[in-house]
Structure formats: structure tokens, C-alpha cells
Amino acid sequence: MRLLVVSWWMPYPPDNGTRQRAFNLLKHLSRRHSLTLLAFGVPRGPEDIAPLQELCDRVRILPPRTLETGRLGIEGLFSAVPRYYVQTKSKEMTTLVEAAASDHDAVLALTCGAGLHLSRTARTMPSVLDEIEVGVPREQYVLERNLVRRVRHGLTWWKYRRFIRFLTTSFDRSTVVSNLEREHLRAMGCDVGRVAVVPNGVNVPDIEPASTRARRLIYPGSVMYSANLDAVRFFVTEIFPLVRRAAPDLVFTVTGATDGVDIGDLAGVEGVTFTGRLPDVDALIAESAACVVPLRIGGGTRLKVLHAMALSTPVVATPKGVEGLDLEPNRHVLVAENPDTLAAQIVRVVNDASLACRLVSEGRAVVRERYAWGPIASTLEGVIQSAVEDHRSGQRRQAYSGAERRG
């Protein structure tokens, strides 16, 4: 099959969760299908393009449009589509998509931003929208207590629900990474009969667990993403002081980009280090005493949890941190919600070698069984094939007119 793939993120280097998903799905799809990739990104050089060219027959990377901070504008204010998507939409990408579509058997959009650029094309040929996520805008509204911000988040959430309904009616099939996300779509009025669960996955390296571990806690995630920044702030200000009281030698390391984010108050805390973007974080994770995932907001599933488990590192997380993952607390991970219990679980696992060993063994086993990329890509292939069959049988949906004009 000839697949036209449009990605909101350049899939290489695979240094965050969305890129890891995109790159690994492309890698497995390329073994059986001919791929054309159109993506947004800023390559550092040929070394970022070459791995994608090995997987795809054609690769075209466009510079992303950036959101102008503080500038709403008439278009963003009155559009039925959330401001972020309106003001970062690329006419050049939409033109490229429409020109390339006729040479392909089906189109695959990776995330909702890519879906917006395919919304017209998706109605003319078999189409799949991968990885719809509604967690962050939903929770920003639901959890907000300040009246002014709640009204603003409420408007965004109203627009986002309408936008997602528009996308799911434009594509033959859509995917989410967990049953919980699928239920969110059901509550929003989407036809979940056309929504499949295609979970996140991870590569499980054939390595032995580290024989010695640094007295280090690690959080692998860029604080440029608001949910990660909230998690790190929560940990540094409320949990880490309790941990250090019981284990003064433990340090906390945050990996991932920090560009444009004010972390001065956090980076100044004794024992806290922000590494910035690293070419490879695997060794750092594998040698850490534990990976902490104190997320309080967000959607989807946490590749950082699966990644740490695959590298034989114990994980301590909030319920939100393991949300959507088929994991058992106290068997695969340790789970706690408030600062006191989270700190206690962290101190417990870093000081109890037998507990850490058991979590590592059970964790790697469940990741191999349920979250390997090969079977996950095969599931996505099945979703694409069902879209092709739907299209051939004439089972198309009509997007409601208001959203259609905005798409």
C-alpha cells in the first residue's frame, strides 16, 4: 500500500514521546508499505533526514509556523478551531498534501495538528487520524478554580471538543492510546465505533539491569510541555524536600529541552539538575535509582514510564502518571498520590534492593508482553485497512457545516 503520512512533529530524532511513537510506527509500517512523509520540523542537518529517508520513499520537511505569544487576533478569537491550531496552520503543507494525495492509497495523520491539514483530503480517500489526545485541555478547564482563567479555559475546551468532533467525522478511522481516552471521546459526542485503541509502545533493549545504581532520581521529559513542567514543579517544591529529609544523598535530574521556560527557581534548589536536551538518555535512566513520574495533568499514556521499565529502572508515579497503562501497583510500579506517600514510596524503593529487583523483573516482562512496537504497528495496520474497506464500501460521514468551513 502507498501511504501518505503527515506528521505534526518531525519524527527524528525520537527524543520525546510523540516523536518516538511516530518514528517507531514509520519504521514498522515501512517494512510492508511504501511511505511518503510530510512533516513539520527544523532539521539540525542531514543526520536528522537520513534515518527518515531510509524508511520513506519521499521526505519533505517544512518549517513550522510558530504561535505568536500574546497575539490572539480576529482569526483566533472567532474561529471554531482553537487558537493554537488556527494560528499555526500552514497553507504550504495543505497544498503539498492535496497535491500528493492522488498518488497514494490512503493517508495517515499523526496527531490532531496534522489532521487539520488533512481534513479536506481525508474525505476524498481512505484516512486515519492517529493519537487523538484530549487530556490537557479537558483538565485545564475541569481543574481550574480561578474564575477568569476557568472562563478562558472553558472557551478553549468548547472549541477543542468541537474541533475533535469535526476531525473524527472527517476521517474514516481515528486512534487513541488508551480506553480512557476513548471514553473521553464518547463523552464528547464522537462516534467511538470508528475510534480504535492503538497504545503507545517502547523498544525493550536486551540488557542486564545495572549492577550498581547512582543515588539519583530521574524525570525524563521536556518542561516545555506544560504537564511535565507542572510535574517537575510539584516534585521539587512538595516531594523532594521530604525525600531529602529521609535520604539526604539523593539527587533529582530532569532531562529534556528547557528552551524559553523559566526554571530558575527550580534549578536553584540544592540537588536538582536540569540537563537540557541530551543525544541519548538511556544510560542515565538505566543507572538511576528510580524514575519518578509525579504527573497531575495530561492525557494519553506515559512513554517515559514504559521507557524506564524497559531499561530496568523502578518507577514511582502518581495515578495520573500511569493512567491508561495496564499496570498493577506494587507489582509493576509503585503508585501514590500525595507528597507524603510519594516520598515514602521513593525512599522505600531506593533503599530496598529486593523490592527494586522485583519491580524491574515484573516491569520488563509486562512491557515485552503488552507494549512492544511490532504488535502495536500491526494493530495500526489493521485500522488503516479497515479505513480502506470503509471507503470502498462508501461509508463516509458528513462533517457538520460550521466546523467544515473552519477546517
Condensed to tens digits (0 to 9), the pLDDT of residues 249-270 reads 999 999 999 999 999 999 999 9
Least confident of 36-45, 146-155, 244-253, 282-291: 146-155
> Average pLDDT in the 52-60 region?
97
Secondary structure of the chain in HEC code, one letter for each residue: CEEEEEECCCCCCCCCHHHHHHHHHHHHHCCCCEEEEEEECCCCCHHHHHHHHHHCCEEEEECCCCCCCCCCHHHHHHCCCCHHHHHHCCHHHHHHHHHHHHHCCEEEEECHHHHHHHCCHHHCCCEEEECCCCHHHHHHHHHCCCHHHHHHHHHHHHHHHHHHHHHHHHCCEEEECCHHHHHHHHHCCCCHHHEEECCCCECCCCCCCCCCCEEEEEEECCCCCHHHHHHHHHHHHHHHHHHHHHCCCCEEEEECCCCCCCCHHHHCCCCEEEEECCCCCHHHHHCEEEEEECCCCCCCCCHHHHHHHHCCCCEEECCHHHCCCCCCECCCEEECCCHHHHHHHHHHHHHCHHHHHHHHHHHHHHHHHHCEHHHHHHHHHHHHHHHHHHHHCCCCCCCCHHHHHHC
| 400, pLDDT greater than 50 | no
The pair phi, psi for residue 66, each rounded to 5°, is: -95, 145
Higher pLDDT, 59 or 205: 59
pLDDT per position as a tens digit, 313-372: 999 999 999 998 999 999 999 999 999 999 999 999 999 999 999 999 999 999 999 999
Is residue 288 very low, low, confident or very high in pLDDT (cuts 50, 70, 90)?
very high
Name residues whose C-beta falls within 8 Å of residue 328's C-beta, 6 or more positions apart in sequence.
none
- Residues 367 and 135: their CA atoms lie apart, in Å, by 23
pLDDT-derived band at 209 (thresholds 50, 70, 90) equals confident
Percent of the chain, pLDDT > 70? Answer: 91
The domain spans of the chain are 2-201+372-399, 214-370
The pLDDT value recorded for residue 350 is: 97
Instruction: Specify the fold of 214-370.
Output: Rossmann fold (3.40.50)
Q: Chain-wide mean pLDDT for the chain?
A: 89
pLDDT of residue 297: 86
Q: How far, rounded to the nearest angstrom, does the alpha carbon of residue 294 sit from its chain's CA centroid?
A: 16
Q: Which pLDDT does position 253 carry in this prediction?
A: 98
**Which fold, 2-201+372-399?**
Rossmann fold (3.40.50)
Domains 2-201+372-399 and 214-370 share a fold: yes
The whole-angstrom separation of Cα 313 and Cα 356 is 8
Cis peptide before 13 (omega within 30 of 0): yes
User: Tell me, what's the pLDDT at 67?
Assistant: 65
pLDDT at 384 over 90: yes
